[in-house]
Amino acid sequence: MKTRSFICAVFMLTMAMVLIPLIVPAQDKYPSRNIDYIIGWGAGGGSDYFGRVINMPVRKLLKVNVNVVNMPGAAESIATEHVQRQPADGYTIFGATSELSTNQLFGRTKFNYKDFTPIIRAHVDVGSFQVAPNQNFKNWTEFMTFAKSSSRKLRIGGTGAASFDMLVSQIILDSAGIADKCTYIPFDSAGEMHASLLGGHIDAMYEEPGVTVDMITAGKMIPLLVFSDKRLAKFPNTPSAGELKYEIPPMLWRGILVKKGTPQEIVDLLEKTYTEAMKDPMYVAFEKDRLLDLFPGYLNSKDWEADLAKEYAAYEKVITKLGLKK
């Protein structure tokens, strides 16, 4: 009887070992379902355009849908914290901007670049001050004269309060000697800011010229000053910060990251995929049309991680100097 029981036990154990691989489902190969691509800004801005265009070829390459989700508010902090609440499995991707390097310093979130794994930095984007044609000034000289002589402060729009837009605007206004003549007005979305400028509710705005190039070409907006060392060929009549001996602020970057802890094989696949997507003719045309190819901007995962560390230290120094660090 004992021998029979022993044989039965061995048989049951053997069958279990055979059946377990059939019962436990195999790990799905990534990606096996839809991916969410999170943008921390509203519709109509540079990050929104970039996210929607870059993910068109990505969908074809990964053979799954990539849902572009706008989560505006708190200068990208709402989106940052949303991504950090999701599993580190590659199914939530963050289309971030330079705010990632400043939000923790401004006290808006406890997260910074160290909580993410970089995929790629796609490009850098030069900034500018722009106005509508119905304003009291049509060029930077007139803007400076009006700012110094006006009995009221000029209202300068930008996306986000205590944001990258505000930081670089402050650097230029300080260099020009008119910071005390201007007030920064924050907006949650670029589209809202554009409408406010055209409606005469603000006097000028910080914006990348590539975002509004169509409106500039149509005469609906005028670039007053570009935040670069030299004039842009696209706008030869617009002076640069460099030629006026102003301090040149950092350029905005846009890039793609995932939550820290995402498996390396997924990071490698996404890096390869988004790098390949940037070679797609449609994306190449987008970069050219939006003036995103004026300066070298692409960095791979490893190089960008090192650059983010340097950038964070530089922003910390500037923000502390301006008395804005929380």
Full pLDDT tens readout for the chain, 326 residues = 445 554 555 445 555 555 544 444 456 899 999 999 999 999 988 999 999 999 999 999 999 999 999 999 988 999 999 999 999 999 999 999 999 989 999 999 999 999 999 999 999 999 999 999 998 899 999 999 999 999 999 999 999 888 889 989 998 999 999 999 999 999 988 999 999 999 999 999 999 999 999 999 999 999 999 999 999 999 999 999 999 999 998 899 999 999 999 999 999 999 999 999 999 999 999 999 999 999 999 999 999 999 999 989 888 887 887 787 87
Residue at a domain's end among 226, 260, 281: 226
Q: Is the dihedral of CA 72, 78, 83, 85 positive or negative?
A: negative
pTM: predicted TM-score of the whole model, two decimal places: 0.82
Task: Output phi, psi for 126, to 5 deg.
Answer: -75, 145
Q: Say if residue 145 is in the same domain as residue 117.
A: no
Cis peptide before 249 (omega within 30 of 0): no
Distance CA 160, CA 100 (A): 13
Q: How many residues does the chain have?
A: 326
Q: For residue 22, tell me if it sits in a domain.
A: no
State the SS3 of 43-110: CCCHHHHHHHHHHHHHHHHHCCCEEEEECCCHHHHHHHHHHHHCCCCCCEEEEEEHHHHCCCCCCCCC
Q: How many domains does the chain have?
A: 2
Q: Label the pairing between strands 116-125 and 92-97.
A: unpaired
Per DSSP bridges, beta strands 154-159 and 182-187 are: parallel
Could you tell me if 120 and 255 are in contact, meaning their C-beta atoms sit under 8 angstroms apart?
A: yes
Instruction: Indicate which CATH number applies to the domain containing 216.
Output: 3.40.190.10
Question: Could you tell me the CATH number of the domain that includes residue 266?
Answer: 3.40.190.150
For residues 137 and 120, state if they share a domain. Answer: no
In this structure, the number of other CB atoms found within 10 A of the CB of residue 38 comes to 22
Which pLDDT score, from 0 to 100, does residue 194 have? Answer: 97
* Predicted local confidence at residue 108, as pLDDT: 92
CA nearest neighbour of 54 among 119, 100, 117, 122: 122
Domain limit, last residue, from 226, 242, 265: 226
| Same domain? 172 vs 96 | no
- SS3 (DSSP) at 154: strand
One domain for residues 119 and 139: no
Q: Are 213 and 151 found together in one domain?
A: yes
Domain hosting 212: range is 128-226
Predicted pLDDT at 254? 97
Half-sphere exposure of 64 (CA within 13 A, CB side): 17
Judge whether 93 lies within some domain.
yes
